[in-house]
Amino acid sequence: MRNIKIINEHWEFIKDSKSTTVNLPHTWNGKDGQDGGNDYYRGTCIYKKNILKSELPKGEELYIQLDGVNSSAKVFFNDKEIAVHHGGYATFRAKLENILDENEIKIEVDNSPNDFVYPQQADFTFYGGIYRDVSIIAVPKSHFDLDYNGAPGIMVTPKVNGQNADIELQAFTDGEVLFEIIADSKTIKTISANGKNPKTCVTIENAHLWNGTIDPYLYTLKASLLSDGEILDEVSTRFGVRSFEINSRKGFILNGREYPLRGVSRHQDRPDIGNALLSEHHKEDIDLICEMGANTIRLAHYQHAQTFYNLCDEKGLIVWAEIPYISKHMPNGLENTKTQMTELICQNYNHPCIVTWGLSNEITMGGASDKNLISNHKMLNDLAHTLDKTRPTTLAAITMCSMDEEYVHISDILSYNHYFGWYGGNVSMYGPWFDNFHKKYPNKAIGISEYGCEALNWHTSEPVQGDYTEEYQTYYHEEVIKQIMDRPYLWATHVWNMFDFAADARSEGGENGMNHKGLVTFDRKYKKDSFYAYKAWLSDEPFVHICSKRYVDRVEPVTKITVYTNQNEVELFANGESVGKQTKDKYPFFYFEVKNEDETKLFAKAGNCEDTAVIKKVDTFNEEYRMAEEGAVINWFEIDTPAGYLSINDTLGDILATFRGKLVLLGTLPMLKKVLSGNEDKPKDKKDKKSGGGLSAAGFKINKTMIEIAKGFALKRAFSMLGAKFTKEQILGLNKKLNKIRKKH
């Protein structure tokens, strides 16, 4: 029988010739990978551990298993190299031979940049280290395969057949295997198979279905390798019996009924420890996601821990699993995408939570016409179908990529990453864009793989795109939720992101090194108001929530109070007096106008649920609520904004809507003339016709969607994105010109 020993304690860690003792999981980028500057250490560090033969588990053959080492690893046993692995998120193993009384394990871990291991360019930190468990597995000479892509040694494929389920079973070993299916701690089926990688099938009558969050029932498969009736080795896995379909018109269908997938994406990292998580961290994440009412998670942008997939199985959460083929296509990375996809599927095949394999994310940032990129995706698509005939493939396309590109139609199903209303454009653009896609490609299932905007502890009564306030984030998500609710054909929608996460290259929102699009803060301690917008929409757990609790001091005499609840009726009180009672119409968002005088205690009641908040009348705006832009070219108080007239705080679209504003803007930014002329898609000569014609940017043909996105940027924000191309004096001079032009109403 196999014996497993986790060896996480007391490793010597060597970085820059300095040695310390650490326990695993561990990363060397827990601090410098989260503080901004894009200067975190990327290089090679060494982990060493001495282990006595007497301390090793007993068995005829021993393997070392590493559950996650980022991003490349060389493993040595007694100074002999026994494994090289490229890819920071999958399990891999190596056999230990020539075992001595005293042994040394040495692992060289490297997260330095290269041109062949993904990811190399992405909006998150690539934490170096051994950040998941390391264990020693002892087995007899005859055992379930430990050399096959880090896989568990058995594969189970359930197929619903009326009230029953046909279960295909396969073991990766050589010999006689006894399969047992266990339900509620009782063996309900046994069957044997013999030979090389033996395969068989058994039927479960009146099968208990794995039915998402409603009833995530799990069976257990136990497989025993026998020799003359004696058990040599034994492995087990849980599995669920379910059927699903992804319909381009009806969305996701689970076990024969429509089951709209509405949820979040998840990055796994945390303050100070990066990706070096413990089981309790995974549990806290899953509990928060379930509290919100989500029924699906996109596990971005890499293979996550087995602990988390197991929790998704148990909670009934539908999962999109993907590899880190992201942002920048690398011609030398083809084999690495193949390896990572193979490991992802082989290691996670048995999880009922997973319904699709993701080929890539925003990989066309440099353009979608690269033939090598196209062939890489076709290879991955074929590979996924070869390894798993039961699940479709998908990918996450970026806004700039036209819906007509060949790349977009390689995978079986599709989702898009759109940030209308944050990176330009307007939040109202979601519905029309997806309606256009659905009309043009009615047989292609389409979803939203990313959408979101950033929020920190900044506040305002007049939220605008790009202000990083909690109030704009709530407005944004309210509006997107409304558009999603009206479009059941969307097969899945995933908020970007459930949690704030580290991206060391970022310098936004007043806190460097972070992406703040989370519905929950990086430390998991604060649920932003937008979290409760989703809870009101998705959760059945009764609650009521008053928004903007951190926005106490307010200057306006009458202020807007937003309340979220999943109850049918809510009443708001101000200092004990009813402000009004509202009944749910279609959307679970309620808005009240409240007099702002002295101190007002707010009390909301919905059914048996209650919530409180406090606001105070002040004469001047509390600057602690306004984002302090580090290194900003212009501060807010330097910009004149006369009522009824334009300023650089207005959007490009609003400025261009006036004749004089258009003249001023095009005189300052002549590159806009071609883009905004309306002729951007028309080829100008025969050569242009052959290439598809039109103006291009970053490898993409300029299209109407990109133009509308550009029009949604505030001019001040556009200047900040252009960096140092314009001086402060030039920008303020332009503002003076705009101040003389009336806004169009």
Nearest Cα to 426, choosing from 418, 415, 434?
418
Is 599 one of the catalytic residues?
Answer: no
> Cβ(295)–Cβ(328) under 8 Å?
no
Name, in order, each residue with C-beta under 8 angstroms of 292's C-beta and a sequence gap of 6 or more. Answer: 264, 498, 519, 531, 534, 535, 538, 539
CA 706 – CA 456 distance, rounded (Å)? 27
The values of phi and psi at residue 257, to 5°, are -125, 150
In the block, residue with structure tokens 């704030």: 500
CA 509 – CA 518 distance, rounded (Å)? 13
**How far are the Cα atoms of 12, 422, 432, 647, 703 from residue 654, in angstroms, in the given order?**
61, 16, 20, 10, 20
SS3 282: helix
The values of phi and psi at residue 143, to 5°, are -155, 170
Nearest Cα to 128, choosing from 32, 202, 205?
32
Name, in order, each residue with C-beta under 8 angstroms of 211's C-beta and a sequence gap of 6 or more. Answer: 217, 242, 254, 255, 316
Neighbouring-strand partners of residue 129: 70
Positive or negative torsion for Cα 455, 457, 461, 464: negative
Name, in order, each residue with C-beta under 8 angstroms of 585's C-beta and a sequence gap of 6 or more. Answer: none
> Cβ(544)–Cβ(563) under 8 Å?
yes
CA 679 – CA 155 distance, rounded (Å)? 56
Identify the active-site residue in 362, 450, 470, 478.
362
Q: Hey, what's the torsion of the CAs at 344, 347, 352, 356, to 10 degrees?
A: 10
CA 614 – CA 611 distance, rounded (Å)? 11
Nearest Cα to 721, choosing from 602, 632, 618?
632
Nearest Cα to 516, choosing from 450, 449, 469?
469
> Cβ(719)–Cβ(726) under 8 Å?
yes
Name, in order, each residue with C-beta under 8 angstroms of 375's C-beta and a sequence gap of 6 or more. Answer: none
Positive or negative torsion for Cα 92, 97, 102, 107: negative
- Secondary structure letter of residue 641 according to DSSP: -
CA 369 – CA 655 distance, rounded (Å)? 34
Q: What share of the chain is helix, strand, coil (3-state, %, to 5)?
A: 25, 35, 40
> Cβ(555)–Cβ(523) under 8 Å?
no
In the block, residue with structure tokens 């932003």: 528
Annotate 404-430 with b (16+ C-beta within 10 A) or e (fewer).
ebebbebbbbbbbbbbbbbbbbbbebb
> Cβ(167)–Cβ(220) under 8 Å?
no
Tell me the HSE value of 550 on the side-chain side, using a 13 A CA sphere.
16
**How far are the Cα atoms of 466, 562, 616, 621 from residue 554, in angstroms, in the given order?**
21, 15, 6, 7
Report, as residue numbers or ranges, the catalytic residues: 362
